[in-house]
Chain A
């Protein structure tokens, strides 16, 4: 009897040890994979100091930070309501605008963010940003945004370079999307869209769904 219970105890300790091992390895793996990787390739317009965001008009002020996920329906609505004005602000260099394409909705958010970064290298970020929202799928990760689709989408807005095609097909900036995610986590961004003007977060209950209020909020932050 004594030996039997000793054997049971051994099995028991072995199981506890294995489960502890899984938990510890899992936690370490998760922590490492969630950290920004400084060796990741980044587009020329991306600044590590700006949370790995795509920076437009780096010399202008004030600063507007835009956190979006290309698969987020609320972001599409935000783009429809306020995208026109925001693009006007960008075109007229009235503000430095930093885009942070987050990817928490899943794999196709990563592909879309990569394609947007590839477009930034072709000086076509604003157009690609708009085109992605205009062609957002009805459901998340539906398979619509394949590499072929995103290359064709780029062509439709006039990006014909082979660099862009390679960049999208090879996923040149896939690792960079993890850096954006890590920086967004540090910036305490818990939903999309989230907009900051000079570091002050706009009120999501009022400012995103109404162009007049969005303009007023930007004006209050110094966008003239």
Chain B
């Protein structure tokens, strides 16, 4: 069983890198096109002071792209995986508090965001997806060595 895992582990790491990295690059790339909306999405969570929320709205897309590229190319996989997991953890907290407080917002994960009609919120599926990605990030932190990576 254990031996089998060590055969599959580099491939699992490779898959996890592509999934988490690819999703981060896509999420960041889609936001860069409309930074007004990105800042609006962060403000809508009503968690941070306006100035900080706006800064994060403008900066986060690039940070997502940076972590995503590191993972896809396969450099600094351990630390990038950890950063990816921390990012997902922050998103899960943010979405959960919005849900708990009864805010009606779109997560703005892939562009979009801001206020939506109450029946258009989909907090549960957003949280489940982010938990999945969080697990991939943690896995990469513990098993950074995989196929087709620049890290040796």
Contacts and interface: CB of A to CB of B under 8 A. Distances in A.
Contacts of B76: 12, 16
A23 interface: yes
Interface stretch (B36-44, B87-95, B123-131): B36-44
Given A34-B58, A191-B115, A102 B70 contact: no
A15 to B, nearest CB: 5
Contact of B34 (A16, A19, A22, A104): A104
Contacts of A31: 55, 58-59
A19 B115 contact: no
A39 interface: no
Interface of B is mostly: helix
Given A19-B69, A22-B66, A33-B35, A104 B40 contact: yes
Contacts of B150: 8, 11-12, 15
Contact of A190 (B58, B65, B69, B114): B114
Given A8-B152, A12-B75, A19-B66, A190 B35 contact: no
B19 interface: no
Contacts of A102: 36
B50 interface: yes
Summarize A's interface: helix, strand, loop or mixed: helix
Contacts of A33: 35
B39 A185 contact: yes
Contacts, number: 84
A189 B40 CA distance: 7
Contact of A27 (B36, B37, B58, B152): B58
A19 B70 contact: yes
Contacts of B35: 30, 33-34
B73 A30 contact: no
Interface of A: 5, 8, 11-12, 15-16, 19-20, 22-23, 26-27, 30-31, 33-34, 102-104, 106, 181, 185-186, 188-191, 204
Given A12-B75, A23-B65, A31-B55, 16 more contacts: A11-B150, A15-B73, A15-B75, A16-B70, A16-B75, A19-B66, A19-B70, A19-B73, A19-B75, A26-B62, A26-B65, A27-B58, A27-B63, A186-B54, A190-B44, A190-B114
Interface of B: 32, 34-37, 39-40, 43-44, 50-51, 54-55, 57-59, 61-63, 65-66, 69-70, 73, 75-76, 105, 114-115, 150-152
